[in-house]
Amino acid sequence: MKTTLGKSTALLTEVWLPIVALAAWWILSNKSTSLYFPPLSRIFSKVGEVVTTRFASDILPSLQNLGAGLCISVIIGVACGLLLGLVPPLYSAFQPLLEFMRAIPGVALLPIALFLFGIGSDMKVAIIVFGAFWPVLMNTIDGIRGIDVLIKDVSRSYSIKPWDHLTRIVLPAASPQIIAGIRISVSLGVILIVASEYIASTEGIGYIQLLSARQYQMDVMWAALLLLGVLGYLSNVLFRVVEHRLLRWHRGLRGTDLGGQK
Amino acid sequence: MATRPLRGYGRKASGALTIVVALAAWELASRTGVLPGSVFPTMSSTFGALVSLLGQGKFWQALGLTMTSWVIGLAIAAFVGIPLGLLLGRVGFLYRSTRLLIDFLSTIPSVSVIPVVLLLFGATTQMKVVLIVYGAIWPILVQTAYGVRDTDRVLLDTARSYSLTRLRSIRYILVPSALPYIITGVRIAAVISLLLAVSSEVLGSAPGIGMEMVLAQSGGALAPTYAYVVLIGLVGVAVYLAFNQLSSRLLSWHPSERGAAA
């Protein structure tokens, strides 16, 4: 009884402010005639409209390009990270070059991507890959370089085969860092897909948003913004679930290290 | 011990060599036609364009506009975000109440706010600053709150037993103990701010170095476009190095830094 009461108050403290904020927005904008801030009720109905009528034509392409870009980023990032992490001289040779390339904001490459790929999915995926693969790469390198020397020595003295060494020791040991890197990549990827849809594009949620802003259809613009927010939020939540699953063993290990403390 | 600095030089030399080789490979590939000349300028023409840009007042003016909005936006985000983060970290009820809202607002891809601020403020520095503040405040706020919540309870209890005034316990206990987190937050925010400054120029045609780059691209000026990308990358590296310096200076007393120096 007491615990359910405690749980429900805990839930209440979490949700009251978002509810109040939404309600305030709804009430304050209800009779709004301002061009820029249409009533929330109208925005919501536009969200429904966009989701039902433009799912295949705009939402799906956004998701596909994002997914493709992130998958390629992770594959390239982990592969290159393994190579650079396992071969220290290679890393020290490439480090300055990589630091420089990483410092270029992904959006700054849009003009070049237009030169190289023109308008279309290829350009968007390329922008995501170039902007989002750095955190995976850097974190993979850091994760591998941070592996306990003792573990490597043990692996060597038991003459574990290179493949097993890689898949059973190196990758699992570096996985918390790699996953932290992927998480940053996911939020960068969402930013970059929107950015790439703003510039010379004919489809996507970002395209809907920009077009409606240009035509002063503010309700559609806000609806698209809300959708992008939900997309960002959901991808984050989804990733947290995956992370929780994948790293369950890691938390257990750390828990015992710290005497059961969290 | 004498080998250490020597190895340091070796690392630097190999890093520099890689950059030289990469630049030479670029030149060779574009001269022999491996990189198509229609989309890839030669390295020498890119750097020629870069040098001529550095001689133009127009370039420095654009860079000044970009960096001004970056500094102002980041400063406002820090001045608002740090005190607010301290408050949220200190008051458990506020922390829990705002968590969902902050989670949602911070995962909205920040570039998708560009159409909104563009309509409200036009393509101005003011628009850039508002955008940067919006994007940069979240990491500062969240990291500061984390840091405060991570403060050692014993320290706080000690402060109370010695009846330190509230202001003093903030000054001598909360801020120092949260400082590493705050600095991490500001560092993340600094990179995001640069991304957003450039994004608002590339996507929203606000005046600055990003807009100059888009102008070069739409005019088909290949080498200057690439030169702008290289320059933006160099600005990114400068920001990164500056904040590295700042953090090791501000945290020189902190165990993690002292350990690293030894």
Please identify among residues 210-229 of chain B the ones whose CB lies closer than 8 Å to any CB of chain A.
210, 213-214, 216-217, 222, 225-226, 228-229
Domains (range + CATH), chain B = 44-254 (1.10.3720.10)
In this structure, the dihedral spanned by the alpha carbons of residues B23, B228, B106 and B172, taken in order and rounded to 10 degrees, is: 80
> Residue A6 falls within a domain, yes or no?
no
Please identify among residues 124-183 of chain A the ones whose CB lies closer than 8 Å to any CB of chain B.
none
Find the CB nearest B100 among A15, A104, A225.
A15
| Amino acid in position B149 | R
B13 or A252, which is more confident?
B13
In this structure, the dihedral spanned by the alpha carbons of residues A101, A136, A130 and B189, taken in order and rounded to 10 degrees, is: -70
| Structure confidence at residue B7 (pLDDT) | 63
> Chain A within 8 Å of B123 (Cβ-Cβ)?
no
Residue with tokens 């433009």: A54
Answer yes or no: are the C-beta atoms of A132 and A73 closer than 8 Å.
yes
| Structure confidence at residue A53 (pLDDT) | 87
Enumerate long-range contacts of B57-62, CB under 8 Å, 24 or more apart. Answer: B58/B212, B59/B209, B59/B212, B62/B207, B62/B208, B62/B209, B62/B211, B62/B212
| Structure confidence at residue A261 (pLDDT) | 37
B90: closest CA of chain A, how far (Å):
16
Instruction: Look at A111 and B11 and tell me if their CB atoms are within 8 Å.
Output: no
Percent of chain A past pLDDT 70, that is, above it, reads 94
pLDDT digits (tens, 9 = 90+) for B178-199: 898 999 999 999 999 999 999 9
d(CA B203, CA B209): 12
| Structure confidence at residue B128 (pLDDT) | 95
First to last CA, chain B: 12
The 8-class DSSP code of residue B173 comes to: I
pLDDT digits (tens, 9 = 90+) for B40-97: 899 999 999 999 999 999 999 999 999 999 999 999 999 999 999 999 998 888 998 8
Which range marks the domain in which residue A149 is found?
Answer: 40-257
| Structure confidence at residue B5 (pLDDT) | 54
Domain total in chain A: 1
> Residue A2 falls within a domain, yes or no?
no
Instruction: Look at A191 and B103 and tell me if their CB atoms are within 8 Å.
Output: no
Q: Tell me the C-alpha to C-alpha distance, in Å, between residue A31 and each of A23, A25, A48.
A: 14, 11, 21
Residue-averaged pLDDT of chain A? 86
A12 or A140, which is more confident?
A140
CATH classification at residue A177: 1.10.3720.10
In this structure, the dihedral spanned by the alpha carbons of residues A184, A186, A188 and A194, taken in order and rounded to 10 degrees, is: -160
Answer yes or no: are the C-beta atoms of A102 and A94 closer than 8 Å.
no
d(CA A218, CA A96): 46
Q: How confident is the model at residue B256 (pLDDT cuts 50, 70, 90)?
A: low
pLDDT at B36 over 90: no
First to last CA, chain A: 26
Q: What is the ipTM of this complex?
A: 0.84
| Structure confidence at residue A215 (pLDDT) | 87
pLDDT at A257 over 50: no
d(CA A243, CA A246): 5
Instruction: Look at A96 and B16 and tell me if their CB atoms are within 8 Å.
Output: yes
Find the CB nearest B240 among A103, A106, A109.
A103
Question: Phi and psi of A213, rounded to 5°?
Answer: -65, -40
Find all residues with CB under 8 Å of B170, minimum gap 6, and list them.
B86
Token pair of A204 as six digits: 């996507």
Find the CB nearest A210 among B107, B110, B115.
B115
Between chain A and chain B, the number of residue pairs with CB atoms below 8 A apart is 159
> Residue A12 falls within a domain, yes or no?
no
Find the CB nearest B203 among A103, A112, A199.
A199
> Residue A24 falls within a domain, yes or no?
no
pLDDT at A111 over 80: yes
Instruction: Look at A108 and B202 and tell me if their CB atoms are within 8 Å.
Output: yes
Answer yes or no: are the C-beta atoms of A221 and A212 closer than 8 Å.
yes
Answer yes or no: are the C-beta atoms of B191 and B203 closer than 8 Å.
no
Instruction: Look at A100 and B239 and tell me if their CB atoms are within 8 Å.
Output: no
> Residue A30 falls within a domain, yes or no?
no
